[in-house]
A and B are shown apart, each in its own frame.
Chain A
Amino acid sequence: MMRVWKFGDDIDTDAIIPGRFLTIYDPRELAKHAFEGTRDEFGREATGGDVIVAGRNFGCGSSREHAPLALKGAGVTVVVARSFARIFFRNAVNVGLLPVVCTDTDRIADGAQVTVNTKEHYIKADGKKFPIEPVPEFMQGIVDAGGLVEYAKQQKEVPICTKSRR
């Protein structure tokens, strides 16, 4: 069972990975500096399967993909938040870090033992179940393909403006 790392509202990408580390692209190296200066123990203690739980507007600010990469490098595979900033949400999906929306994140405590069930759409923290929203359909297609890189590898051409997948 993995633990919850609890954060508040408006966690920006400068907090997730400060600007001075942006010459690094290796997720594991980035992970060492994740939340540096904001929550130093995260880089040292986060382990595979841990879950970030946050409030509104997680990942606001810069478009740096280093942010979801740093979290992924730390072993985090799911971020649960009340809401996400747009670019972070999309970057997360693209690099294979699952962003999940849950309106009950204020009821989940730091350090709680947690499991996330994306098939049945719930998160279980310290024994309590909370519903999570499914990933939007067109994003799910990218997730199903194994991320945008895998999706793109499979395509010689893309269906430009011809159909909309809602």
Chain B
Amino acid sequence: MGQTIVEKIFSKKCGKAIWSGEVVMTPVDGAMIHDITGPLAIQKFYEMGGTKVFDPKRIIMLFDHQIPADSIEAASNHIYMRQFALEQDIHNYDINEGVCHQVVLEKGRAAPGEIVVGADSHTCMYGAVGAFATGIGSTDMGFVLKFGALYFKVPEAIRAEVSGTFPARVGAKDLILAIAADIGADGATYKAIEFCGDAIARMEIPGRMTCCNMAIEMGAKAGIVAPDTITWDYMKKRRKMSPFIIESDSDAKFAETRSYDVSDLEPQVAIPHNVDKGVPVSKVAGTHVDQVFIGSCTNGRFEDLAEAAEVLGKKKFAPSLRVIVIPASRDEYLKALDAGLIKQFVKAGALVEAPCCGPCMGGAFGLLAPGEVSLSTSNRNFKGRQGSTEAQVYLCSPATAAASAMTGEITDPREV
């Protein structure tokens, strides 16, 4: 019987055939910690009797959730982590580079066939380059820091086969919101989602990142796209390694296969308060919006900002709302600057902030008051996610966010 790409990654790592359902103590190729979950992971590492981390070169440390420090507590947590980095000889990107998941990928710290863990649920994003990557808690991360390995229950996979060509101003975010609505908030719990099909084969890495990033919103342990020429081209500038093939066998056993066709896909909006409540934009068009956020690990890349800018053109954002734009990383920020996008957004009335998680995590800034409505390109619309539990968060693509920011209400990007 053939294997899924996930089973192959574990088999390769363990040096023997591993099948879904098996529980294996597996070494990891990388481990990411940030300012929210890192301090507790370090504390657990010490409590476990840790003195030296398993391999400082495999640990990725950065701060992105509360930067620049938004409270004395956050500043103190940053110091605690900086000291740990110094003591353990870990390279710390500190507050300088951007949102963790974007930075891991653009610095080449995750690669095809690797197993990477992160103390953040959206770690599954690294599947965009064919890595098996999953989010873990701080205690598990403390264990990883000490031993460089972790117990994994090797997940079964759901095959999401995506065909067709996206209509104009419809893209990866609309697709993944539609998939989440189909599979449901817990439909992929303890499973991996493998994205494949001709639409994925044509999709560039940023779109694949958006899809894999949101695998967790269906409860998935990982999202993954088998590496292809697009992947190896992306890796070329980031990591010295020779391309190889790792993909699911044609006779691999999947938990299920679901097919999607994007040819007629409408822009999607996830309505409050669950990510799987995706509906076509037409169903909620006209909904008043107080704040638009374009950014996050899900949709803060240059391509996302360009998608928003294309819709915006030379027009202005509606004066009735606040528009917050945050590039996902320093690199993406520079690309947007060079292309004139930042100027375009600022001129149109947006507030552009330095790379960080921003309003997505509801702890730093850009919080909502009771009764307010946010339209956001981020990944979660849970009650209270961006501030008051009496506020409402809608999720959408950068194109829909831009169109809505221009009118002050949820708007189909194909109609502006």
Contact = CB atoms under 8 A, between A and B. Distances in A.
A112 interface: no
A23 B66 CA distance: 9
B121 interface: yes
Interface string A77-112: 000000101110011001100000000000000000
Given A14-B384, A161-B15, A152 B121 contact: no
Contacts of B221: 86
A56 B186 contact: yes
A145 B350 CA distance: 53
Q: What bracket does the count of chain B residues touching chain A fall in? A: 35 or more
Interface in A42-87: 56-57, 60-66, 83, 85-87
A106 B158 CA distance: 29
Nearest to B154: A164
Given A14-B384, A22-B36, A25-B43, A95 B27 contact: no
Q: What bracket does the count of chain A residues touching chain B fall in? A: 35 or more
B139 A10 contact: no
Given A25-B43, A158-B149, A90 B137 contact: yes
Given A12-B382, A65-B137, A161-B14, A22 B65 contact: yes
Given A63-B135, A63-B137, A160 B185 contact: no
B13 interface: yes
Contacts of A94: 137, 139-140
A38 B65 CA distance: 23
A160 B135 CA distance: 20
Given A63-B137, A158-B25, A22 B363 contact: yes
Contacts of A20: 362-363, 367
Nearest to A84: B189
A19 B385 contact: yes
Interface string B116-153: 00011101000000000001111110110011010101
B138 to A, nearest CB: 4
Given A65-B37, A90-B140, A37 B389 contact: yes
B339 interface: no
Contact of B189 (A57, A152, A155): A57
Interface stretch (B44-52, B257-265, B402-410): B44-52
A166 interface: yes
B347 to A, nearest CB: 31
B195 to A, nearest CB: 19
B286 to A, nearest CB: 27
Nearest to B274: A10
B121 A164 contact: no
Interface string B30-44: 000000110110011
Contacts of A152: 48-49, 142-143, 146-147
Contacts of A157: 147
Nearest to A58: B186
B37 to A, nearest CB: 6
Contacts of A159: 25
A57 B40 CA distance: 25
B388 interface: yes
Nearest to A155: B147
Given A14-B383, A14-B385, A19 B26 contact: no
Given A90-B136, A149-B44, A14 B36 contact: no
B137 A160 contact: no
B185 A10 contact: yes
Contacts of A165: 23
B22 interface: yes
A158 B147 contact: yes
Interface stretch (B71-79, B301-309, B312-320): B71-79
6 nearest A-B pairs in the assembled complex, by CB-CB distance? A37-B389, A19-B363, A161-B14, A23-B73, A91-B137, A152-B48
10 contacts: A19-B385, A20-B367, A38-B389, A62-B380, A64-B37, A66-B40, A85-B189, A87-B136, A90-B140, A94-B139
Given A63-B121, A161-B14, 12 more contacts: A18-B363, A22-B361, A23-B71, A23-B74, A64-B37, A87-B135, A91-B138, A148-B48, A148-B142, A152-B142, A161-B25, A161-B27
Interface of B: 13-16, 18, 21-27, 36-37, 39-40, 43-44, 47-49, 65-66, 71, 73-74, 77, 119-121, 123, 135-140, 142-143, 146-147, 149, 151, 153, 185-186, 189-190, 219, 221, 274, 361-363, 367, 380, 382-385, 388-390
Interface of A: 10, 12, 14-15, 18-25, 37-38, 56-57, 60-66, 83, 85-87, 90-91, 94-95, 138, 147-149, 152-153, 155, 157-162, 164-166
